[in-house]
Amino acid sequence: MDIIEKLYYGEIAPHDHKRNSDTLNEIESLEETLRGQIDHKNIKTLLAYFDAHNAYKEEIAFHNFRHGFELAYKFMFEGLK
């Protein structure tokens, strides 16, 4: 079975990766601290900022993922010449 078949049949999951639990713990701790220090109105603003920032990071991650495939295709195409 070649790599394309493995990817198609789910034997390769490029989106699976370990997350750094220390970083996640730090984020959660900082969020708790902020919630205790900021009033309700400002918490809503801060959380809206976090949501927008996370959405932007997801867009960038997808763009980089797609660009990686495009680059790999170009390398393969050049190799077939």
Q: How does pLDDT run across 28-70, given as a tens digit for each residue?
A: 898 889 888 988 889 888 889 889 999 998 889 888 888 888 8
How confident is residue 17, by pLDDT bands cut at 50, 70 and 90? low
Residue at 5 is within a domain: no
Instruction: Provide the domain count of the chain.
Output: 1
Scored b (16 or more CB within 10 A) or e, 3-27 reads: eeeeeeeeeeeeeeeeeeeeeeeee
Residue 80 structural domain: 40-81
Distance CA 46, CA 29 (A): 15
Q: Looking at the domain assignment, is residue 15 inside a domain?
A: no
Distances 13 to 2, 6, 16, 70, 71 between C-alpha atoms, Å? 15, 9, 6, 18, 19
Query: Is 23 within the bounds of a domain?
Result: no
Q: What is the DSSP-derived secondary structure letter of residue 16?
A: -
How far, rounded to the nearest angstrom, does the alpha carbon of residue 58 sit from its chain's CA centroid? 5
Residue 71 clears pLDDT 80, i.e. is over it? yes
